[in-house]
Amino acid sequence: MSGDGATDTAASPWPVRHSCTVFSTRWLEVRHDAVIRPDGEEDFYDHVVLPASVTVLALTDDGTVPVTRQWIYTHGERQWRLPAGGMDSGDDSAAAAARRELMEETGLTAGRWRLLGTVSGADSATNHCDHVFAATDLVHGDARLGPGEADLEVHWLPFGSLLDLVMSGQIRHAGSAFAVLATAVGNRAAAPIH
């Protein structure tokens, strides 16, 4: 990534000599790559390949936001986060996945969408990226929770209270924190989605 935020399309300084899958499930793949480091020495790089995910900050006309609270298995605790989830094979784009996740978890559909940005987490261990959206012009409907979401609760919080949760460290989900902070500072680079 260059300093101006543009994607660097130059050849990788880590050429891959050989790559193999060490372990895989329907959710992830662990890869072992034989590489040449930028200093010219041979090495290996183990990493997890994950599908992309989406996070949605849905904002009502009166400034409230639906925030979910549920048990997050990998962290062993209940957490606050915005509606979010992985991209499915049936999603033709990140925007389609965002629309689906918002509807499934909250029952909401939105008339206006903006891409706030893409967040990468745990870069030394995984390629995972989270596409973060803002949604407005909301219409209420019925949620369609999946089997693993039976404990998911939706709370409607004023945006200021949501920002307080982020600033106090009570929201640690990267996509959620990014969405709130980008909205708070008025992300001017946000692109409308049609």
Per-domain residue ranges of the chain: 16-49, 53-193
**Digitized pLDDT (tens) for each residue of the chain, 194 residues in all:** 334 444 554 678 889 999 999 999 998 999 999 999 999 999 999 999 999 999 999 999 999 999 999 998 889 999 999 999 999 989 999 999 999 999 999 999 999 999 999 999 888 899 999 999 999 999 999 999 988 888 999 999 999 999 999 999 999 999 999 999 999 998 544 555 54
Instruction: Give pLDDT, residue 4.
Output: 43
Instruction: Give pLDDT, residue 192.
Output: 54
Class of the domain covering 53-193: alpha beta
Instruction: Give pLDDT, residue 55.
Output: 98
Segment holding 155, helix H or strand E: strand 153-158
Instruction: Give pLDDT, residue 56.
Output: 98
Torsion, Cα 81 95 143 74, to 10 degrees, reads -40
pLDDT in tens, 61-73: 999 999 999 998 8
State both tokens at 173: 């989900």
Instruction: Give pLDDT, residue 2.
Output: 38
Query: Which residues are paired to 156 by β-bridges?
Result: 66
Amino acid at 99: R
Q: Are 45 and 125 in contact (CB under 8 A)?
A: no
